[in-house]
């Protein structure tokens, strides 16, 4: 298994531009999580999905952030418009989920976002 796949690995963009981060969870996993990590705030949960349905998006910082999971093998996190304070490492993680009573989360390699 290739594990959780994220793209791009690095993204540098200018303030005001739209940014789209992508994630492919481990095949067969039912839950998907988006995290943001910064030195100041640590590891923050932004949103998570179970069976492609958003369960809790209370961690999404503001309306500029949106996430979708159109199918079991793909999710996106979009920031529009981006701001310098969005600079962080964004991790996607997946877990087998409730159906198998296994909730260990496996993290992707992350996307390092820099907004100038």
Partner 1 sequence: GENVEQHPSTLSVQEGDSAVIKCTYSDSASNYFPWYKQELGKRPQLIIDIRSNVGEKKDQRIAVTLNKTAKHFSLHITETQPEDSAVYFCAASHTGNQFYFGTGTSLTVIP
Q: What does the binding site for partner 1 look like in residue numbers (CB under 8 A)?
A: 31, 33, 42-43, 45, 48, 50, 55-56, 91, 97-98, 101, 103-110
Our CB check for partner 1 shows the closer of 4 and 115 to be 4
- DSSP-assigned states of every residue in the chain: ----EEE-SEEEE-TT--EEEEEEPPTT--EEEEEEEETTTEEEEEEEEETTEEEE-TT--STTEEEEEEETTEEEEEESS--GGG-EEEEEEEE-BGGGTB---EE---EEEEE-
Shortest distance, position 95 Cβ to partner 1, whole Å: 9
Our CB check for partner 1 shows the closer of 81 and 106 to be 106
């Amino acid at each position: 298994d290739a594990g959780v796949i994220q793209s791009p690995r690095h993204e540098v963009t200018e303030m005001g531009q739209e940014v789209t981060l992508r994630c492919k969870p481990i095949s067969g996993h039912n839950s998907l999580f988006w995290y943001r990590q910064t030195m100041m705030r640590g590891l923050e949960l932004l949103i998570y999905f179970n069976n492609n349905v958003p369960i809790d998006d209370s961690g999404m910082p503001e309306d500029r952030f949106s996430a979708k999971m159109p199918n079991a093998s793909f999710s996106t996190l979009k920031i529009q418009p981006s701001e310098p304070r969005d600079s962080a490492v964004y991790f996607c993680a997946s877990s087998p989920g409730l159906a198998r009573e296994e909730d260990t989360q496996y993290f992707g390699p992350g996307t390092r976002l820099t907004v100038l």
